[in-house]
Chains A and B, each alone.
Chain A
Amino acid sequence: MARKRAKADAATAPVTTVVVMCLYVAGKAPNSVRAIANLEAICRRHLKGGYKLEIVDVCEHPRRALADGVLVTPSLTKVSPAPAANVIGNLSDTSSVLAALGLHAGDLN
């Protein structure tokens, strides 16, 4: 099941673009559970301007994962804005996640 969480609010943050992301997880695997928690924390803290996150459970949608070129889990893909970026791992290293997303810690604080 894909869970969609859209917290985009264009009216409150007209300057920042909406970040579209996709997180691929493997069921309730420890790393996957941790990744979801870590990402949600990052979004809360750093993506106040708005983001769109899709969480795909690879165990349930293997074809989707294959089509998207996802191999290891958890894996985060930034779809837009360009450039696209990929982060693998449980996203415990916040600064590297932010760097991959084109954000810097403190930018939006």
Chain B
Amino acid sequence: MTARKHATPRPLSKVATGIQGFDEISHGGLPQNRTSLAMGGPGTGKTVFALQALVNAARDRKQPGLFVAFEEGASEIFANAATFGWGLPALARSALFFLDARLSPTVVQSGDFDLGGMLAILEAKKQELGAGWIVFDGVDVLLRLLQNPGAEMREIYRLRDWLADNDLTAIITAKIDGDASSPASYGFMQFMVDCVIRFDRRLEQEISVRRLEITKYRGSEFATGEFPLSFGPQGMEVAAPGTAEILHEAPSARVSSGFAGLDSMLGGGVFRGSSTLITGAPGTSKTTLAGKFAESACQRGERTLFVSFDESGARIQRNLTSVGIRLDAHMKSGLLRMYSGRTDVNNPEEHLIRIAALLLEHRPRCMVIDPLSAIARTGALSSARAVCNRLIYKMRDHRVTAIITALVGGDDPQVEATELQISTIADTWIHLSYVVRGGERNRALTIVKSRGTRHSNQVRELVLSAAGPALADVYSAGGEVLMGTLRWEKEAEERTRKLQRRAAFTHKRRELQFAEADIVARITALQLDLDRQRAELALYTPEDEVRHVTSDERENQLRKIRGAGAATKVAPVPSRRRVARISARSRGNGGKEPRRGP
């Protein structure tokens, strides 16, 4: 939501602070060569804001700066900023100048004084360094010494004129006590400066929440409203709402969910850049599924981020080892980054900012948040919901394929829908539940929804073993999926049946083989018989011929001797008689008719 404040013919030139989120809500940063006022109660982050802007300018844009500390000494500031990876002492040697402007408590005041001397010193330093930035930290401490509203105003105008003459981008921080909405004391200072940022800290459901708001920005539009801020490893981060329009790509490439059974249920895996929600009661192995996803991502060589809450990364890694998921090597190689947050310490906003920082730092392609529902444990539920929404959008912005787990109390997945309301934004929703049947508690996996992809409607049993999670084969009986022992029994029954079938088959086959062998044997015996017959036949034929010839010749000779006609007797007699005669004469030989005439 933006509001146009003043229309200027010439756009105001801005200079980025490099503070994540602030440059977005201020639409570019602070006004260049003008003065900004950061005001707020104690411990709201004014000094860090100012110092971080200064450090970023010096480090990233090589723009030296001056820091005038009215409240803390340089060494204290260095110590405070040491928690952030800024390298402040090194910068202080080259590009930054810290002026310890605390007045000694032993100083006696006698009459009016002014800032002329200090400004002269700063001017000399500015020219020496070529500084473009200046911070007056805790200017209220100095002004209080003036003990005179008129003098205060005079010195502030002196400051303003000096800043205007010196072309410095300035941040003045000032404390305000009590209610932040009525900063009566610095009213004129707010008129004087071009940009006012109000810092605030308050308790929300026993959790301290810091916020900032831009209340004034001359000649510029800015995002109105309060924005939560927190402190990450790189300093302050402001939770900017991001762009109003959602412009996410929709890649059609698939990513394995970690094991084949689930991939095939999802029609080949989850979409690249999508977010998958896994809900379930405690102990339904949500973390195991998430861990499997992380492991397979690492095996593909993709950078992975594993965010867990209230349990250390080392413990998760150890626990996952028991189900055959090995993350240790990937953790060592730096491919996998484990981050564990404590939900009792930070509020949802701080978690979000931390995760967002990790996304930038580690640049993962896949990530796991286990469990996201832990975020809602502290602070107001409405802000937790907003955080979850923003988190999912942020992951999509970074094109990260994510698995998010969420704890639900009951077996009914609809409970989740009313709790954090992330199920509506998630692309795929897998629900894990316990099925109690036959005196057992078994894990069941259901895909509640999966956008833009064909997915199985089958309830499957999730089996955990040392080899990792797997989806058991489906056996249904009477419309129910069999699980646990019932499934095992069914499987055993199936096995027995299969064995029986196989035995019967073998038996039958063997029977047929015997029959075949028998026939073959008989064929062989007959063949042998046939051969013998043929051989005998071959043996007998020439002998018979000889016999025939001799007998015919002899008959003819006998006839000749007797003087009878040769063929007269023979002609009317059919061969049968001859055959009979032949067979009578020579046993075993027949059928051959005499062809030779006399």
Which residues of chain A have a CB within 8 Å of any CB of chain B? 24-27, 29, 31-32, 34-35, 38, 58-59, 62-63, 65-66, 69-75, 85-94, 96-97, 99-100
**Alpha-carbon distance A93/B197, docked complex (angstroms):** 39
Interface centre among A58, A92, A97, by most chain B C-beta atoms within 10 angstroms, is: A58
- Specify which chain B residues have a CB less than 8 angstroms from the CB of A59 in the assembled complex: 116-117, 120
**Alpha-carbon distance A85/B111, docked complex (angstroms):** 16
- Specify which chain A residues have a CB less than 8 angstroms from the CB of B123 in the assembled complex: 62
Contact between chains at B120 and A92 (CB < 8 Å): no
- Specify which chain A residues have a CB less than 8 angstroms from the CB of B116 in the assembled complex: 26-27, 29, 31-32, 58-59, 73
**Nearest B-chain residue to A93, judged by Cβ:** B110
Instruction: Provide 7 A-B residue pairs closer than 8 Å at the C-beta atoms, listed in order of the A residue.
Output: A65-B120, A73-B113, A85-B108, A88-B107, A90-B111, A92-B111, A92-B112
Nearest CB of chain A from residue B69's CB, rounded to whole Å = 11
Nearest CB of chain A from residue B286's CB, rounded to whole Å = 60
- Known contacts A29-B114, A90-B111, A91-B110; can you find 17 more A-B pairs with CB under 8 A? A26-B116, A31-B111, A31-B112, A31-B116, A32-B116, A59-B117, A62-B120, A62-B123, A66-B99, A70-B121, A72-B114, A86-B104, A86-B106, A88-B103, A91-B111, A93-B110, A93-B111
**Alpha-carbon distance A92/B100, docked complex (angstroms):** 27
Contact between chains at A75 and B117 (CB < 8 Å): yes
Contact between chains at A88 and B108 (CB < 8 Å): yes
B436 within 8 A of A: no
Contact between chains at B124 and A63 (CB < 8 Å): yes
**Nearest B-chain residue to A26, judged by Cβ:** B116
B8 within 8 A of A: no
User: Which residues from 82 to 104 on chain B have a C-beta closer than 8 Å to any C-beta of chain A?
Assistant: 99-101, 103-104
Nearest CB of chain B from residue A102's CB, rounded to whole Å = 11
**Alpha-carbon distance A75/B142, docked complex (angstroms):** 15
Contact between chains at A97 and B117 (CB < 8 Å): no
Contact between chains at A31 and B113 (CB < 8 Å): yes
- Specify which chain B residues have a CB less than 8 angstroms from the CB of A96 in the assembled complex: 108-110
B117 touches which one: A63, A71, A89, A90 (CB < 8 A)? Answer: A71
- Specify which chain A residues have a CB less than 8 angstroms from the CB of B104 in the assembled complex: 86
| Interface of A: prevailing SS | mixed
- Specify which chain B residues have a CB less than 8 angstroms from the CB of A24 in the assembled complex: 117
Nearest CB of chain B from residue A91's CB, rounded to whole Å = 5
B118 within 8 A of A: yes
B519 within 8 A of A: no
Contact between chains at B112 and A100 (CB < 8 Å): no
Question: Given A62-B123, A71-B103, A72-B103 in contact, is the A90-B118 Cβ separation under 8 Å?
Answer: no
- Specify which chain A residues have a CB less than 8 angstroms from the CB of B111 in the assembled complex: 31, 34-35, 38, 89-93
Contact between chains at A85 and B117 (CB < 8 Å): no
Nearest CB of chain A from residue B210's CB, rounded to whole Å = 31
**Alpha-carbon distance A88/B101, docked complex (angstroms):** 14
**Alpha-carbon distance A76/B313, docked complex (angstroms):** 61
- Specify which chain B residues have a CB less than 8 angstroms from the CB of A27 in the assembled complex: 116
Contact between chains at A75 and B112 (CB < 8 Å): no
- Specify which chain A residues have a CB less than 8 angstroms from the CB of B142 in the assembled complex: 72
Question: Given A31-B113, A90-B113 in contact, is the A99-B121 Cβ separation under 8 Å?
Answer: no
B115 within 8 A of A: yes
* B residues contacting the other copy or chain, number (CB 8 A): 24
**Alpha-carbon distance A91/B115, docked complex (angstroms):** 16
Nearest CB of chain B from residue A33's CB, rounded to whole Å = 11
- Specify which chain A residues have a CB less than 8 angstroms from the CB of B113 in the assembled complex: 31, 72-75, 88-90
Contact between chains at B118 and A71 (CB < 8 Å): yes
Interface centre among B100, B107, B113, B118, by most chain A C-beta atoms within 10 angstroms, is: B113
**Alpha-carbon distance A96/B109, docked complex (angstroms):** 8
- Specify which chain A residues have a CB less than 8 angstroms from the CB of B112 in the assembled complex: 31, 34, 89-90, 92
Interface centre among B101, B104, B106, B124, by most chain A C-beta atoms within 10 angstroms, is: B124
B121 touches which one: A29, A62, A92, A100 (CB < 8 A)? Answer: A62
Contact between chains at A87 and B110 (CB < 8 Å): yes
**Alpha-carbon distance A59/B111, docked complex (angstroms):** 21
Contact between chains at A87 and B108 (CB < 8 Å): yes
**Nearest A-chain residue to B100, judged by Cβ:** A69
Contact between chains at B115 and A72 (CB < 8 Å): yes
- Specify which chain A residues have a CB less than 8 angstroms from the CB of B125 in the assembled complex: 62, 66
Question: Given A72-B103, A73-B116 in contact, is the A90-B110 Cβ separation under 8 Å?
Answer: yes
Contact between chains at B109 and A26 (CB < 8 Å): no
Contact between chains at A86 and B108 (CB < 8 Å): yes
**Nearest B-chain residue to A99, judged by Cβ:** B108
User: Which residues from 129 to 149 on chain B have a C-beta closer than 8 Å to any C-beta of chain A?
Assistant: 142
Nearest CB of chain B from residue A72's CB, rounded to whole Å = 5
Question: Given A29-B114, A34-B111, A89-B113 in contact, is the A58-B106 Cβ separation under 8 Å?
Answer: no
**Nearest B-chain residue to A88, judged by Cβ:** B113
**Nearest A-chain residue to B107, judged by Cβ:** A86
Nearest CB of chain B from residue A66's CB, rounded to whole Å = 5
- Specify which chain B residues have a CB less than 8 angstroms from the CB of A88 in the assembled complex: 103, 107-110, 113
Contact between chains at A58 and B108 (CB < 8 Å): no
Question: Given A71-B101, A89-B112 in contact, is the A26-B107 Cβ separation under 8 Å?
Answer: no
Question: Given A72-B103, A88-B103 in contact, is the A97-B110 Cβ separation under 8 Å?
Answer: yes
**Nearest A-chain residue to B68, judged by Cβ:** A71
Nearest CB of chain B from residue A1's CB, rounded to whole Å = 14
Nearest CB of chain B from residue A24's CB, rounded to whole Å = 6
Question: Given A72-B113, A89-B113 in contact, is the A26-B120 Cβ separation under 8 Å?
Answer: yes
Question: Given A85-B108, A97-B110 in contact, is the A58-B103 Cβ separation under 8 Å?
Answer: no
Contact between chains at B114 and A26 (CB < 8 Å): yes
User: Which residues from 422 to 475 on chain B have a C-beta closer than 8 Å to any C-beta of chain A?
Assistant: none
Nearest CB of chain B from residue A109's CB, rounded to whole Å = 20
**Alpha-carbon distance A65/B117, docked complex (angstroms):** 8
**Nearest A-chain residue to B119, judged by Cβ:** A26
**Alpha-carbon distance A38/B113, docked complex (angstroms):** 13
Contact between chains at A87 and B109 (CB < 8 Å): yes
**Alpha-carbon distance A41/B478, docked complex (angstroms):** 112
- Specify which chain B residues have a CB less than 8 angstroms from the CB of A86 in the assembled complex: 104, 106-108
B109 touches which one: A29, A85, A89 (CB < 8 A)? Answer: A89
- Specify which chain B residues have a CB less than 8 angstroms from the CB of A66 in the assembled complex: 99, 121, 124-125
Nearest CB of chain A from residue B381's CB, rounded to whole Å = 50
**Alpha-carbon distance A59/B240, docked complex (angstroms):** 44
User: Which residues from 581 to 597 on chain B have a C-beta closer than 8 Å to any C-beta of chain A?
Assistant: none
- Specify which chain B residues have a CB less than 8 angstroms from the CB of A31 in the assembled complex: 111-114, 116
